[in-house]
């Protein structure tokens, strides 16, 4: 909104010309989301406490987590408010991709909200059934993928990071593929959200990497030089990614160990859906496992654990997701979180180096 209100004034006042630059609006969006999240945090946490919206702890988890029972949850609504407000203020609201990402983010947040509300109402760690949650996630993901498929100027090709000439056109198969990416990413972030600050810290890093990728994809010169598909409209998503970084950092202030508030499924499912949607739009689906490397490892640990137990009646890890495995090995929570952040940063940096390696 500020973009549409202030940029037209540049004809009379040259200072407003800065609003034409995506880099400027991205920085302002990040700072706006950060300040909003940071300032509203104390009031928001007090409201959650007053309404007795506290976290329920799974009884089969690490015993050290029992002390976290009752910690305010559903803090993801604060992240989403800051993220969406900053995006609406600074982004070009005539851009189709901006509204698509916002729509998918809100839809996944709604699923997470219903799940969190069910847990609070029942007073245990069971909200939506796994089947119902997956069904609604698939519905949202297929809808988003279908919208992209029907967009005439949107490429249905699959881009391989290290092979310049390998761009197979998936045709109608692009819809289930893109839907799989969205659902997988959303659930991966959700599985990672098990320690104070772990998921939101990794989100900051992943969103930062996506901000770089969206910017170069939308910049004609950079896209041509780096061998990327030039997507002029996708550049506006840089502002959304910048706002995600700012909102996540602001929330991390209160979610850092020992956490004053948890994001809940309303936050983790939404952030995962947002990350997946941006990656799909800029054709970096196959780079996403590196952009969100820790998320992938967490999800794979659960898949391997379940598969091994069903086939061999044996567990690979002491507990899944894998961050619980390290807890049971005796690592402190803070050590696990920081080391996973470092791993996430290494993965993201590797993802960015592929831009030059193509």
In a domain, 356, yes or no: no
The answer to whether residue 235 is domain-embedded is: yes
Residue 172 within any structural domain of the chain = yes
In a domain, 330, yes or no: no
pLDDT of 63 reads 55
pLDDT recorded at residue 206: 97
Q: Does the residue 1 lie in any domain?
A: no
Asked, for residue 332, whether it belongs to a domain, the answer is no
pLDDT of residue 289: 94
Mean pLDDT by 10 residues, the chain (358 residues): 68 74 95 96 93 70 64 93 97 95 98 89 72 95 96 88 78 95 97 94 97 92 78 93 98 94 95 97 94 96 93 90 92 95 96 80
pTM for this entry: 0.93
Residue from 358, 107, 36 nearest 213 by CA:
358
Domain total in the chain: 1
How much is the pLDDT for 11?
Answer: 65
* Domain-located, residue 232: yes
Task: Indicate whether 328 belongs to any domain.
Answer: no
The parent domain of residue 182 ranges over 23-289
């Amino acid at each position: 909104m500020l973009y549409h209100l202030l940029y037209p004034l540049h004809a009379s006042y040259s200072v407003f010309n800065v609003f034409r630059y995506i880099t400027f609006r991205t920085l302002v969006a990040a700072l706006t989301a950060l300040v909003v999240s940071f300032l509203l945090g104390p009031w928001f946490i007090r409201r959650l406490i007053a309404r007795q919206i506290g976290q329920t702890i799974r009884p089969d988890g690490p015993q050290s987590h029992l002390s976290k029972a009752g910690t305010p949850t559903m803090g993801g609504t604060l992240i989403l408010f800051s993220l969406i407000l900053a995006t609406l203020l600074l982004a070009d609201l005539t851009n189709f991709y901006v509204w698509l990402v916002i729509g998918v983010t809100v839809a996944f947040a709604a699923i997470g909200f219903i799940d969190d509300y069910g847990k609070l109402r029942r007073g245990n760690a069971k909200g939506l059934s796994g089947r119902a949650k997956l069904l609604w996630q698939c519905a949202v993901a297929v809808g988003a993928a279908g919208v992209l498929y029907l967009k005439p100027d949107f490429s249905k090709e699959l881009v391989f990071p290290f092979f310049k000439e390998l761009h197979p056109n998936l045709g109608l198969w692009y819809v289930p593929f893109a839907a799989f990416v969205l659902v997988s990413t959303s659930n991966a972030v959700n599985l990672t959200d098990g320690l104070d600050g772990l998921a939101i810290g990794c989100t900051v890093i992943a969103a930062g990497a996506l901000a770089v990728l969206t910017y170069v994809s939308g910049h004609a010169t950079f896209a041509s030089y780096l061998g990327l598909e030039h997507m002029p409209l996708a550049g506006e998503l840089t502002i959304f990614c910048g706002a995600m970084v700012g909102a996540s950092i602001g929330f991390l202030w209160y979610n850092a160990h020992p956490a004053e508030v948890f994001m809940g499924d309303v936050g983790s499912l939404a952030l995962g859906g947002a990350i997946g949607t941006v990656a799909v739009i800029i054709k970096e689906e196959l780079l996403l496992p590196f952009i969100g490397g820790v998320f992938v490892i967490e999800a794979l640990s659960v898949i391997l654990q379940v598969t091994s137990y069903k086939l061999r009646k044996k567990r690979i890890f002491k507990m899944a997701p894998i961050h619980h495995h390290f807890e049971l090995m005796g690592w402190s929570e803070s050590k696990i979180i920081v080391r996973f952040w470092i791993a996430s940063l290494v993965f993201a940096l590797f993802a960015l180096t592929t831009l030059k390696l193509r």
